[in-house]
Structure 1
Amino acid sequence: MTTQPTALDTYLQRLPLILDKIEALRQLANDHFGHDPEAIHWGHVGDLGRVEQALDELLSILNGQPK
């Protein structure tokens, strides 16, 4: 007999995966996302702007509040 996972089971399985990705993002940020700080250009700034916007959208989803 197989049982279906509950929403809580699946939620708890996904949580550590998300935390791992947050930590990977933190490590990348600590290393300037692999860029030489002396060679940063406006393209890098634009990339970070898009990342910031995506993170704002995620936070608004999880907070249940519009930006």
Structure 2
Amino acid sequence: MTAQSTALDTYLQRLPMILDKVEALRQLADDHFGHDPDAIHWGHVGDLGRVDQALDDLLAIFDGQAE
């Protein structure tokens, strides 16, 4: 094996980083993204709409089944 990384090596290195970010997003969501639930306004709703769309876009890349 050469010192040059293979695609699989790089893939396996990146996967845990993505999983860490997904978990961080889950933790943020569990905490209402740091917002006081009693102070939620339409700007927060819009932010979540953009996040929802971005997640749909990501899912579409990998499974083509995003709604």
User: TM-score, normalization: structure 1?
Assistant: 0.92
Are residue 7 (structure 1) and residue 7 (structure 2) matched? yes
Which residue of structure 1 aligns with residue 60 of structure 2? 60
Which residue of structure 2 aligns with residue 30 of structure 1? 30
Which residue of structure 1 aligns with residue 21 of structure 2? 21
Task: Give aligned-pair identity as a percent.
Answer: 78
Which residue of structure 2 aligns with residue 44 of structure 1? 44
Distance (whole Å) between structure 1 residues aligned to residue 18 and residue 48 of structure 2 = 20
Runs of 4+ in 1 over 2 A off after TM superposition: none
Cα offset, 1:66, TM superposition: 6.6
**How many residue pairs end up in the alignment?**
65
5+ unaligned residues in a row in structure 2: which ranges?
Answer: none
SS at match of 1:4: coil
Distance (whole Å) between structure 1 residues aligned to residue 7 and residue 49 of structure 2 = 34
Q: CA RMSD in A?
A: 1.2
